């Protein structure tokens, strides 16, 4: 009886510790699981699972192990928030696997996907032919985001006999106060252009910008840091 009581006590304690750590780590553990988050969840579950069936492990040791792992995860999350360059190695990055209606084979290989898997992911978004896709992006959590060609968007403009232009992909120009020079170069733009666009919106410094997105033939979309937060 004491053995079952001990298991119940350790299981309850582990449940409480894991619940608290999950709350501290935020909703990304559920809605946007990255490879790092997946490893974190496995390790935490393993720590508690082993502790339940190892009679030599005490509750305070479970608490210490979960707390230490939680601290390591928290520090890593802080690093990715503070240092933009660390996100690629720690969280990964989205891969554009279809650009302007053409499949990018190199990007597909980098994402460890084949054509059949790509088609399956696209079908889950409601598009049953790759010819309908203008852009497809494999996100960090393995899901695909799809931007369809104008004729296949809903409602289908071709059905309504409306003349359309194919959509363009929005490009991030500034993230967390840092200019994404590779994206600027890809769009055929430079920092001087970016400065002029920010000055039109009465913004003087890149570091004041939380997020800036550019889309062809549209004004630069800018979100400044909210000083109230």
DSSP secondary structure string, 60-99? HHHHHHHHHHHHHHHHHHHHHHH-TTHHHHHH---EEEEE
Own/partner contacts of 224-229, CB < 8 Å, gap of 24 or more, are 225/177
The helix-helix angle for 35-53 and 59-82 (nearest 10°) equals 170
Question: Residue 228: its pLDDT value, please?
Answer: 44
Average pLDDT over residues 79-104: 80
Query: Taken in order 123, 126, 159, 215, is the CA torsion positive or negative?
Result: negative
Query: Taken in order 31, 36, 37, 38, is the CA torsion positive or negative?
Result: positive
Query: Taken in order 34, 225, 175, 94, is the CA torsion positive or negative?
Result: positive
Higher pLDDT, 150 or 6: 150
CATH among 3.30.70.260, 3.40.50.620, 3.40.1350.10, 3.30.240.20 for 94-152: 3.30.240.20
- Please check whether residue 178 is in contact with residue 209, taking contact to mean a CB–CB distance below 8 angstroms: no
Question: Residue 10: its pLDDT value, please?
Answer: 61
Q: What is the pTM of this model?
A: 0.58
Higher pLDDT, 75 or 221: 221
The helix-helix angle for 35-53 and 2-25 (nearest 10°) equals 160
Average pLDDT over residues 140-150: 87
Query: Mean pLDDT over all residues of the chain?
Result: 79
DSSP 8-class letter at 158: T
206 has pLDDT over 90? yes
- Please check whether residue 117 is in contact with residue 103, taking contact to mean a CB–CB distance below 8 angstroms: no
Q: Which of 3-7, 25-29, 46-50 comes out lowest in average pLDDT?
A: 25-29
Distance of CA 226 to CAs 26, 43, 210, Å?
Answer: 20, 36, 9
Q: Which CATH class is domain 171-224?
A: alpha beta
Q: Is residue 48 within a helix (H) or strand (E), and if so which, with residue range?
A: helix 35-53
- Please check whether residue 172 is in contact with residue 212, taking contact to mean a CB–CB distance below 8 angstroms: yes
Q: Token pair for residue 196? A: 């002029």
- Please check whether residue 101 is in contact with residue 131, taking contact to mean a CB–CB distance below 8 angstroms: yes
Question: Which band of pLDDT confidence, cut at 50, 70 and 90, is reported for residue 110?
Answer: confident
User: pLDDT, tens digit, for every residue of 39-85?
Assistant: 666 766 676 666 666 666 666 776 777 777 777 777 877 887 777 77
Backbone φ/ψ region at 142: left (φ over 0), alpha (ψ -120 to 50), beta: left
């Amino acid at each position: 009886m004491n053995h079952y009581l001990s298991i119940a006590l350790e299981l309850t304690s582990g449940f409480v510790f894991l619940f608290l750590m999950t709350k501290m780590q935020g909703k990304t553990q559920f809605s946007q699981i990255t490879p790092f988050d997946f490893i974190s969840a496995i390790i935490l579950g393993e720590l508690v699972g082993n502790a339940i069936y190892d009679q030599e492990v005490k509750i305070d040791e479970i608490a210490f192990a979960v707390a230490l792992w939680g601290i390591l995860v928290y520090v890593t999350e802080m690093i990715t928030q503070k240092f933009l360059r660390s996100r690629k190695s720690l969280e990964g990055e989205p891969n554009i696997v279809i650009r302007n209606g053409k499949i990018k084979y190199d990007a597909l290989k980098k994402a460890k996907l084949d054509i059949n898997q790509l088609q399956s992911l696209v079908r889950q978004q409601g598009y049953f032919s790759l010819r309908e896709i203008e852009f497809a992006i494999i996100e960090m959590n393995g899901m695909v985001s799809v931007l369809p060609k104008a004729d296949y968007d809903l409602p289908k403009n071709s059905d309504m006999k409306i003349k359309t232009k194919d959509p363009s992909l929005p490009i991030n120009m500034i993230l967390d106060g840092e200019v994404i020079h590779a994206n600027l170069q890809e769009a055929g733009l430079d920092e001087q252009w970016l400065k002029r666009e920010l000055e039109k919106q009465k913004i003087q410094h890149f570091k004041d910008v939380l997020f800036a997105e550019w889309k062809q033939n549209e004004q630069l979309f800018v979100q400044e840091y909210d000083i109230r937060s």
